[in-house]
Structure 1
């Protein structure tokens, strides 16, 4: 799994508080509001590996501390990366490899240099004012094959190779990922005539091409990448497992590989999409015990199962084969049984292969012969579940029941002295309002509390009214005056019951009907 972190703000803050007179006794502050949260480090040197590496007894000029802002920030970034890597391994048991630079493409490439469990910082100078000189970025990128640059895929790299060589590049036989016998490096592309942004735009222009692709490729081969680090998603947009093969051409081998990939896919789904069930959200111990058995819950349900293959082209008459990078795919609704937690991964994978993947494979390859170089099994079309966010689908029913006691605790039924019952809500009133209201005027309540002779407030229920001196409920005398005339009511001459005017005619017909 690849993750980028933008630590610009944290590094810049620590660069401001760095004491240049005591670099060896520096302290990296992890929280702005808490100066004790952090770790000590030596700001006079980089943590981990660097590019270019020191040669012989003489270290690069950048190893001697200067006030250069970029150098200082990269040093701080290297120590933060080391701290995160060690914490991740000690607390979670995960190892990691890290690259430290100023953008995504450079950090990705420099991070590949010291695998596994290493980190590398691309040190300055990143720019040079000497027309004949090379910056660290240029020297670092020039040795890479053009197909290894993130953002330049296989089709673009093949076109760039053909543009530099002025003919199609010869593909190395027997290699899985389509490498070429003739290496075309970033330097070859960068120094080749006709590789300015406008020329590259014309080279790659065509149906379906992205506008500005020429400028983008030119920037990548020069180490320029302004892509922002996006926010982490709560769940991945898709999960897929794939493998490449030198030869895969029998039914038995395909079924075996589909079962293996499916097992890995379900394991990955359980790692990425299952979370511990929160059974402590209720104040009622009995409810907590009720939900204790729900150990895990699905954060999302993928809706679609996808199978992708890459078939090899048939052999030519001379025994050669055209290299193809074309993939074909089929999809279907993901069977719901894959979400069964009690069942074993292998049992679910076997069922998934039999009921879904094999039928899809037959649709993709109806013939009796084939030869595959790649198989990919994945799930997509995620539907986030059990939450209240906009991207969530549905409600967390178990959580709603677990929280109902605390949510409804503000409302209760109380018995009044006259035998009636009323619902009482623990609402707050603002007695400091300029208009003197209690915030419930729309309910017809003129007072929210009475006062005794000493001025102490005697709060009443928010729907109760203050008792007047004459023993009547204040407002009862003129309450009907605010009602419409047809709703004020009148007394029946036969039985004396008081009804609204619009209902009196029907009531009289009731008396006329007799028994």
Structure 2
């Protein structure tokens, strides 16, 4: 009974949304083709190390493929143009540009990036708004409104037919109002509008940026991503109704579409998970290794899995048990196999959850070689942090650095930058190369080991070069962390090194999704406290192993207790006396964080010894007395 209830609960699909999935065609190669249009008619392969990571369609037409050795690619196509793609900066910048371009058309900021070359758009609100203004008596002459506040901004379209290919192919005529009433159900009409919007966005993208895309239109991220692959490249496909089985027992289009796919092709089902399922269905372990093309004998379709005896969420839980997946993963997989994906298109996020840099090698087996590779990785990590976690400061008050200098004026002169977020953790990961097999080949090792520590605060400085900061980061943090990871100096042979900055704290965000607040802007309209009016006999509010926080009052006027219970230091609702939370804002051992209001100010010093408390605080107040209008030091 429990199994039946779980199976029924898992099969409730929501078709109220319209999701569009963009997949940029041959993205890496397209970046080079946009820089040099002469490459568009030539076979182009993008090289990383000794491998073709991707190639354009002209190269594929001549026999090249992804993950092919460069020497094999040149043998297959002697006139192939090889371009180096190891520096990801240009790809990252192009991806941001395309994301911003599409985002300006979508209402509600419902645009989600997936890697560099994929974007999900939730256009439900746009479709619902335009559907209510359709004239059913004159669908040919419809108008799609792109601006909710300006009805003249948009494009004309024919709402009597889908735009572009559909799945099933040729399932409806060019104009199907008489032949297929399902097309003009609520869902069918909304998908028609979605297909025309997708077509408009595709052509705008190509016209203004030069990039082409393959697009899928359906009611979930899963279905939109899968159906787009039906017609590649530079095209689009709409998965049309009926989605559910009919009263006559005929399969719905979702079941017909999904059942022909191999189980490993379903987004959300990775290689290890798919191999577990294949092994259960086939009764043996598949012979296909990671990154190898699937053989026909190892192929297991979604239809075969769904029709397997007693298959359901509980059965999948047993099959996938012990693989490191979360509890009840079987329910999620069963939903995916039935075309059910309730995950939302996340609103655009300015701050990444982590920044990770890695490289692979034939073999790194000495500390000198490790230090050399870490130098390159650390420089790239710091550049990424500056690119992704900082923005131009509007004025001198907005500058927020992790170093103590004269009110940030040096940072102002060096580019007027401020940090939007601070990572709390630095992580280093490595992967070892396994010994060769008797035939001389090296088996692939996917296991990584890692160590992490709090990220040192000096990396947030704007006043030293990237190279100098990287060198200090290597010597003071990364090498000691690496020695903890590999204590035996002669026992490691590494094929990969990764370093990452994780656990972002958005303490100066300007977006609605930010966890913290920009303290400078928070007090922008408040009355400032002249530093000379602050008492030199501060009251200790709280003291811990992490920070000591003082209150200096104007004319000995104590503020209301309620004002002290909110932490202005990181912009959260934690109690003001939470010293642990206060230390999340980066600062040095000698630099306090100052917050002022009309009658009092608060200083928080990190890790002060009790004997130095009063002297250091008095010095801090005297130093502030020289400032005309202090807010944040």
Q: Same fold (TM over 0.5)?
A: yes
Q: How is 1:361-380 mapped onto 2 (pairs within 5 angstroms)? A: 361-365=482-486, 366=488, 368=490, 370=492, 374-380=496-502
State how far apart, in whole Å, the 2-side matches of 1:326 and 1:357 are.
20
Among candidates 295, 300, 321, match of residue 421 of structure 2: 300
Q: TM-score, normalised by structure 2?
A: 0.52
The answer as to whether partners of 2:431 and 2:448 remain within 8 angstroms in 1 is: yes
Cα-to-partner distance string for 1:249-294 (whole Å, 9 max, x where unaligned) = 4457766665555455444433332223224999xxxxxx999755
Question: Does residue 1:271 correspond to 2:387, yes or no?
Answer: yes
The answer as to whether partners of 1:62 and 1:71 remain within 8 angstroms in 2 is: no
State how far apart, in whole Å, the 2-side matches of 1:347 and 1:110 are.
49
Q: How many residues align?
A: 390
Tell me the SS of whatever aligns to 1:4.
strand
Cα RMSD, aligned residues only:
4.2
Question: Does residue 1:332 correspond to 2:448, yes or no?
Answer: no
Q: How is 1:412-451 mapped onto 2 (pairs within 5 angstroms)? A: none
State how far apart, in whole Å, the 2-side matches of 1:150 and 1:123 are.
20
For residue 160 of structure 1, report the CA deviation from its aligned partner.
Answer: 0.7
The answer as to whether partners of 2:363 and 2:433 remain within 8 angstroms in 1 is: no
State how far apart, in whole Å, the 2-side matches of 1:348 and 1:113 are.
49
Higher relative contact order (CA 8 A, sep 6+): 2
Q: Which residue of 2 aligns with 1:468?
A: none
State how far apart, in whole Å, the 2-side matches of 1:43 and 1:375 are.
54
Question: Does residue 1:60 correspond to 2:181, yes or no?
Answer: no
Question: Does residue 1:171 correspond to 2:288, yes or no?
Answer: yes
For residue 380 of structure 1, report the CA deviation from its aligned partner.
Answer: 0.9
Judged with a 3 Å threshold, the aligned counterparts in structure 2 of structure 1 residues 84 and 339 are, in CA distance, closer, same or farther, namely: farther
For residue 91 of structure 1, report the CA deviation from its aligned partner.
Answer: 7.1
The answer as to whether partners of 1:387 and 1:396 remain within 8 angstroms in 2 is: no
Q: How is 1:72-471 mapped onto 2 (pairs within 5 angstroms)? A: 72-84=189-201, 98-112=215-229, 119-129=236-246, 134-172=251-289, 177=291, 181=295, 182-205=298-321, 210-242=326-358, 247-251=362-366, 258-259=374-375, 261-279=377-395, 295-315=416-436, 324-341=445-462, 352-353=473-474, 355-365=476-486, 366=488, 368=490, 370=492, 374-386=496-508, 392=515, 395-397=518-520, 399=521, 403=524, 407-408=526-527
The answer as to whether partners of 1:237 and 1:380 remain within 8 angstroms in 2 is: yes
The answer as to whether partners of 1:144 and 1:185 remain within 8 angstroms in 2 is: yes
State how far apart, in whole Å, the 1-side matches of 2:313 and 2:122 are.
28
The answer as to whether partners of 1:279 and 1:291 remain within 8 angstroms in 2 is: no
The answer as to whether partners of 2:313 and 2:330 remain within 8 angstroms in 1 is: yes
The answer as to whether partners of 1:275 and 1:296 remain within 8 angstroms in 2 is: yes
For residue 222 of structure 1, report the CA deviation from its aligned partner.
Answer: 1.6
Unaligned runs of 5+ in 1: 283-288, 410-515
State how far apart, in whole Å, the 1-side matches of 2:331 and 2:462 are.
49
The answer as to whether partners of 1:27 and 1:39 remain within 8 angstroms in 2 is: yes
Cα-to-partner distance string for 1:72-131 (whole Å, 9 max, x where unaligned) = 212222333344556667778887654321112122333456677654433333233388
Cα-to-partner distance string for 1:390-442 (whole Å, 9 max, x where unaligned) = 96557544x578x45xx559xxxxxxxxxxxxxxxxxxxxxxxxxxxxxxxxx
For residue 214 of structure 1, report the CA deviation from its aligned partner.
Answer: 2.1
Unaligned runs of 5+ in 2: 1-112, 178-183, 399-408, 529-633
